[in-house]
Structure 1
Amino acid sequence: MSDLLDDFGRKFNYLRLSITDVCNFKCTYCLPDGYQPEGKPHFLRLDEIGRIVNAFAKVGTKKLRITGGEPSLRKDFTDIIRTVADNDAIETIATTTNGYRLEKHAKTWFDAGLRHINVSVDSLDPRQFHQITGENKFQDVMRGIDAALDAGFERIKVNAVLLKDLNDSDLPKFTDWLKDRPIDVRFIELMETGLHHNYFKAHHLSGDVIKSRLLAQGWLHQVPKQTDGPAQNFCHPDYQGRFGLIMPYSNDFCKTCNRLRVSSKGKLHLCLFTESGIDLRDLLQHDNQQDELIARLHEQLHQKKATHDLHQGITGVTKHLASIGG
């Protein structure tokens, strides 16, 4: 079957699959009041997840990231990893986690087939970490990252949302931390969402500020590979780790977009900041619906825009990043 292509010639080989929008942290930029359920949740079942994975694999998906909320809150999280790993067409299995269960489960998840892991660490100052996340779990998360290193993960990334007047002075701490650790630290520009306009105005800072500091300290801007995502990566001969910058407000950010999203309730999102999702769940109930599901995916790709509208302050239906999986 043919790969997923949009009308701008972009090929989509990367799926971000959310399995829950529940999170146990209260990050100020996402869920400052904690998770607020809207009625009884009806998240994708394991069999539905298997059908999504199979359909996307048939149309060229090579990388799949399991997201949330906090995906490890699902009791069947390890089974979900195995379900993805059972499909030989999926070459890279990744997840993004807040890391609070990582110390205990890193080896189990690795043995189930997980190979890449992103851990959210918005500050290396324990007090500031507590202030941003609402949870006093810094040491737990740090031990989790060490457990992931010991388990043998192929790639470990640490994500930090760049926040003016909160963690924008943390670069030296992260630099020291990367000296002897083969980890990628990625600063992600704060993105405006539907519920956080005032927070965005107070704390948004361009990633160019961090980029200038890195270049001044001798870090080298790496030439991106064709398979790379949107991050601009920087390396230094004296450091084992790397830095990455994700700057969604930069020019041509969407030009090389290669990812699609499916929400925890079975809606296809063509963009993180889309106006609406396309329901797939009616085609996830039986194995004999695969052809119809694939046809719907191809059809909907014609609706994908060339770029997001964040510069105009248009954030779509995304109330917060946990609702789609970031």
Structure 2
Amino acid sequence: MTVLQDRQGRTFPYLRLSVTDLCNFRCNYCLPDGCQDHHHGDALTLPEIRRLVTAFARLGTEKIRLTGGEPSLRRDFTDIIHTIKSVPGIRKVAVTTNGYKLPQRIDGWLDAGLDALNLSVDSLDPRTFQAITGHDRLQEILTGMQKAFERGLTGAKVNAVLMRGLNDGDLDRYLDWIKVQPVSVRFIELMETGDHREFFQQHHVSGTVIREQLVARGWTEVIRLADAGPAQEFCHPDYQGRIGLIMPYSPDFCRQCNRLRVSATGQLQLCLFADGGYDLRPLLQSDDDLEALVADIRRQLNFKQDGHFLEHGYTGTTRQLAQIGG
């Protein structure tokens, strides 16, 4: 096995794989008018996904995060989990989901081999949650998470996009919740995308605001694992849960980048905010092309940049985050 490495010496044990760009929520920071432009019907097939993941596993990737859009909109989503978990070398399969119908679906996902669950919960206040997402489903999502806990799932995280004037004052509510819940809450800085420049300018707030509050209350930073996401994670001895901060506008954010992305139609995207992707799909049609696929992925890593250019207002071809799962 050859470890996948770029020119900067960064290694990539972590792949974020979008299985659809369709979403059924209307989050105001992503799809305020709903999902009107998608390629759901042309998403990678199950055999294509198996070949893709097999190639990445041969290059040292051990963790696959399934994203969307909303990945559970795939009718074969449970089969996708099972297929990926069966690939030699894949140690962890995770999903990022909006939690739609989670109480009815979580058993099937866990039975298929799901190891970790990330839920988008942008507020613990039902009214604010509905205002942000367009759905009154907060309790459904939390019920599904509790069911996952009862099944023994330990890898549970909650993602909340931090937005000025909407949920930036909710820290105490989350802290009260994780006092007794073994959940890691990730506050993600609002990122500028091509379709939401005005919204970004109105609602962006730095994650350092939360960081300063945590440090003042005795929270300490946790050492980051090799296959972890980009969050700076904090713990406190009096709390069962943790707080994570994802701050893409901070200096050196990309220095420890350990993840690559593949879109629902097979485009390898070296950065969330790159100028498009590289089409891997022609080499996903036959098991006989596996060695060529491995070589092609390795070759593309030569083009990965040192970092993004978000701080200069450059968002690449990313119009909204549902394109490739954030």
The CA deviation at 1:144 is 1.2
Write out aligned runs for 1:59-98 (5 A): 59-98=59-98
Taking the aligned partners of 2:136 and 2:302, their CA distance within structure 1 comes to 45
Taking the aligned partners of 2:83 and 2:46, their CA distance within structure 1 comes to 8
The CA deviation at 1:228 is 3.1
TM-score (norm 1): 0.98
The residue aligned with 1:324 is 324
Taking the aligned partners of 1:225 and 1:156, their CA distance within structure 2 comes to 16
Taking the aligned partners of 2:226 and 2:40, their CA distance within structure 1 comes to 42
The residue aligned with 2:19 is 19
The CA deviation at 1:88 is 2.9
How many corresponding residue pairs? 326
The CA deviation at 1:38 is 4.8
Taking the aligned partners of 1:13 and 1:226, their CA distance within structure 2 comes to 8
Taking the aligned partners of 2:140 and 2:210, their CA distance within structure 1 comes to 27
Is the CA contact (8 Å cut-off) linking 2:22 and 2:40 kept in structure 1?
A: no
Structure 1 window deviating more from structure 2 (307-316 vs 37-46): it is 37-46
The residue aligned with 2:311 is 311
The CA deviation at 1:152 is 1.5
The residue aligned with 1:100 is 100
CA RMSD of aligned residues (A): 1.1
Write out aligned runs for 1:1-326 (5 A): 1-38=1-38, 41-326=41-326
Percentage of identical aligned residues: 55
Taking the aligned partners of 2:143 and 2:40, their CA distance within structure 1 comes to 34
Taking the aligned partners of 2:113 and 2:90, their CA distance within structure 1 comes to 11
Q: Measured at CA, do residues 239 and 39 of structure 1 come closer, stay the same or move farther in structure 2, by a change above 3 Å?
A: closer
Amino acid at match of 2:277: G
The CA deviation at 1:37 is 2.8
Q: Measured at CA, do residues 107 and 317 of structure 1 come closer, stay the same or move farther in structure 2, by a change above 3 Å?
A: same
Taking the aligned partners of 1:123 and 1:38, their CA distance within structure 2 comes to 27
Unaligned 5+ runs, structure 1: none
Taking the aligned partners of 1:110 and 1:223, their CA distance within structure 2 comes to 28
Unaligned 5+ runs, structure 2: none
SS at match of 2:124: coil
Q: Measured at CA, do residues 262 and 235 of structure 1 come closer, stay the same or move farther in structure 2, by a change above 3 Å?
A: same
Is the CA contact (8 Å cut-off) linking 1:102 and 1:148 kept in structure 2?
A: no
Q: Measured at CA, do residues 118 and 303 of structure 1 come closer, stay the same or move farther in structure 2, by a change above 3 Å?
A: same
The CA deviation at 1:227 is 3.9
